[in-house]
Amino acid sequence: MIRGKLWFRCAAMHDPVTPVIVQPALIGWEAKQRKVDLQIERAFNGEELVRRMKGWVTIDPNKAIEVVHQFGRLKVLDDRELVIEAEKIEDFQDLQKALAETFGGEVDAEMIPKKT
């Protein structure tokens, strides 16, 4: 398994950024005829986290998801960090090329070295 970070360009500062989960989403309910005292915490999955970047980065996050899915998958590691997972190093390298061709340097993938 090959893992990497997905870097976008910030729409405001034009530097590389990647989303992280600081705190899980807190979801509750409102009822029309009663009080509901129930809340759940739920972290985003990789795709949800990338979609939340719309407007904050220079590209359409949905298009980035499409490109990543051709070669691997998006995942949130340790309930915090967005990573790309690919089966083989060749898949990851092909993803890097596809991101460069599709986005012209506005999105890139950086391999995370394996810990020994």
Tell me the whole-structure pTM to 2 decimals: 0.86
Closest CA to 107 of 84, 88, 75, 78: 84
Q: Report the pLDDT value the prediction gives residue 32, as an integer from 0 to 100.
A: 87
**pLDDT greater than 90 at residue 114:** no
Per-domain residue ranges for the chain? 2-111
C-alpha torsion sign, points 91, 93, 97, 103: positive
Transcribe 66-116 into DSSP letters.
HHHHTT-EEEEETTTEEEEEESSHHHHHHHHHHHHHHHTTSEEEEEPPPP-
pLDDT for res 59: 97
pLDDT per position as a tens digit, 8-42:
999 999 999 999 999 888 888 888 899 888 888 88
